[in-house]
Structure 1
Amino acid sequence: MSKKRSNYRKDAKNIIIEVKEPDELLSFLLKVMSNRSRNSVKSILARGQVTIDDHIEKRFNYPLKPGQTVTILKNKAAVKQDVLIGMQILYEDEDIIVINKEAGLLSIATEKEKQQTALHQLMKYVKREDPENRIFVVHRLDKDTSGVMMFAKSEHVKRKLQDNWAKAVKERTYVALVEGRFTEKEGYITSWLRETKTHLMYSSQTPNDGLLAKTRYTFIQGNADFSLLELNLETGRKNQIRVHMQDLGHPVVGDKKYGSKERDAIGRLGLHAKTLTFQHPTTNKILTFKADVPASFLSKSK
């Protein structure tokens, strides 16, 4: 491997490479893993074992840029707390698990993907201790949204959290990288959200015409092309932030579904669940968990 192309290092679990020259991801990996066959490298990509900076990337032709960091997970066979693919456990006790999910990882299974999900991996993780252990979904993050997410370890805890979600959750803060320069320092948007037959959400200003959605936003930093916002959800509707940003004329970067023209500006959706504060379902203690703002959000909005 040419030193001009990358800085190459290893740790106990990963191969970590800093990109020095433009390249496509598959081509780059074939050079890094020259001892593996082309099909083997393709399989590693398809299984979600490669991350670019702060997101999982599976596209063979993803364009790499100098300064990006490529990480390859060496061992996928054993799912342990420190070897979960596309997530890190922030907290765990007898009732809940809180994770920091990377962009590109599904929360739950779809028709096309059953195993490479946060739920499936955590289920395998808890079953290592006891085959009877299980994991239950409390809330979800979109595949391309990163950040803090919570799961329950029993049906009882799941129901208790979901039935009291509005009261139990004290703060849900997101950050979004959006298109264009924001002129307002802060604001508040309210609408009623409806869903089309093709599962596209849209806003209505007619009272009670759908589910009420409330989003408060604060400008953090920006330039002529991009703005970084902090958003507090007063309601938790499907695609709420994405629809409200489109309504404001500043769609979330990478969100082609809701009006973004900057699809590949950061190689992912510009949405991240930064903070989750809630009352523990058993101890009643107030807990706060945070996931750092992705570096690509900060650099693009400088």
Structure 2
Amino acid sequence: MSSEYAPPTAPLVVLHRDDHLLVVDKPAGLLSVPGKGAHLSDCLLSRLEAVDAATLLVHRLDRDTSGVMVFARTKLAQRHLGLQFERRHTSKTYIARITGHPDTDGGQIDLPLIADWPNRPRQMVDFERGKPARTGWRVLEREPRSTRVELTPETGRSHQLRVHMAELGHPILGDPLYAEGEARAAARMMLHAETLTIRHPDGGAPTTFRTACPF
């Protein structure tokens, strides 16, 4: 881990629950799944399993990212949702605050990514060996020393939004891996999964879940 693990203790916010799905607002600072070692066992999955043993993992958010996260409550729903993520049939929007001011008001970032093995868990751009990674972005508000942006990932590579913003020259505020100096000193990493649209495992209707950005 990039810093001492001190996960938040406030009660979890459940956005939706039915026979097939459990959708929660993951807080920043809490691992999605257990890390290596007993000191990293506390995570969103284990907390949910403690109150609902049927909870099944579908996808992950980085420890320091907050926002919408969906879990399955049956094996069939888990498979259905897993295929949606694998085949890119889901859509997501994120809100971030990035350092400085981009020259344009939006665009598309297409930079392939691969694990930076000597510096794990960092990821890096690699045009020869990297996997395709594409992110759409647009400016929402220009603040005095930072910019609020909406990010729409077309792929789901590890740390994709974080690396792409850093490569743009405007790392996400509070990012412990890709920001430097003052930009790293923010109270939290300013990245929030605001919306997630899936096809409901029971019937396939497009369903969008949303949670307001806390920063």
The answer to whether residue 45 in structure 2 is matched with residue 119 in structure 1 is: yes
Identity %: 34
Secondary structure of the equivalent of 2:76? helix
Selected match of 1:200 from 108, 122, 142: 122
Q: Which residue of 1 aligns with 2:70?
A: 150
Structure 1: runs of 5+ lacking an equivalent = 1-45, 50-72, 74-84, 127-132, 297-302
Selected match of 2:197 from 277, 289, 298: 277
Instruction: Give, in whole Å, the separation in 2 of the partners of 1:88 and 1:202.
Output: 33
Q: How does 1:167-206 map to 2 (within 5 A)?
A: 167-169=88-90, 171-197=91-117, 198-206=120-128
Instruction: Give, in whole Å, the separation in 2 of the partners of 1:47 and 1:269.
Output: 14
Instruction: Kindly provide the amino acid, as one letter, of the partner of residue 179 in structure 1.
Output: T
User: How many corresponding residue pairs?
Assistant: 205
Instruction: Kindly provide the amino acid, as one letter, of the partner of residue 234 in structure 1.
Output: E
Secondary structure of the equivalent of 1:136? coil
Instruction: Give, in whole Å, the separation in 2 of the partners of 1:167 and 1:212.
Output: 13
Contact 1:179 1:260 in 2 (8 A): no
Instruction: Kindly provide the amino acid, as one letter, of the partner of residue 95 in structure 1.
Output: H
Instruction: Give, in whole Å, the separation in 2 of the partners of 1:144 and 1:247.
Output: 19
Secondary structure of the equivalent of 1:231? strand
- Pairwise CA distance, 1:225: 1.2
- Pairwise CA distance, 1:155: 2.5
The answer to whether residue 185 in structure 2 is matched with residue 264 in structure 1 is: yes
What's the Cα RMSD here? 1.8
Runs of 4+ aligned residues of structure 1 deviating over 3 Å after TM superposition are: none
- Pairwise CA distance, 1:224: 3.9
The answer to whether residue 48 in structure 2 is matched with residue 48 in structure 1 is: no
Instruction: Give, in whole Å, the separation in 1 of the partners of 2:81 and 2:138.
Output: 28
Asked which structure has the greater CA Rg, the reply is 1
Structure 2: runs of 5+ lacking an equivalent = 1-5
TM-score, structure 1 as length reference: 0.64
The answer to whether residue 112 in structure 2 is matched with residue 212 in structure 1 is: no
- Pairwise CA distance, 1:91: 0.5
Closer, same or farther: CA 274–260 of 1 in aligned 2, 3 Å: farther
Closer, same or farther: CA 151–220 of 1 in aligned 2, 3 Å: same
Closer, same or farther: CA 47–259 of 1 in aligned 2, 3 Å: closer
TM-score, structure 2 as length reference: 0.89
- Pairwise CA distance, 1:121: 1.4
Contact 2:88 2:155 in 1 (8 A): no
Instruction: Give, in whole Å, the separation in 2 of the partners of 1:189 and 1:256.
Output: 22
Closer, same or farther: CA 122–177 of 1 in aligned 2, 3 Å: same
Secondary structure of the equivalent of 1:164? helix
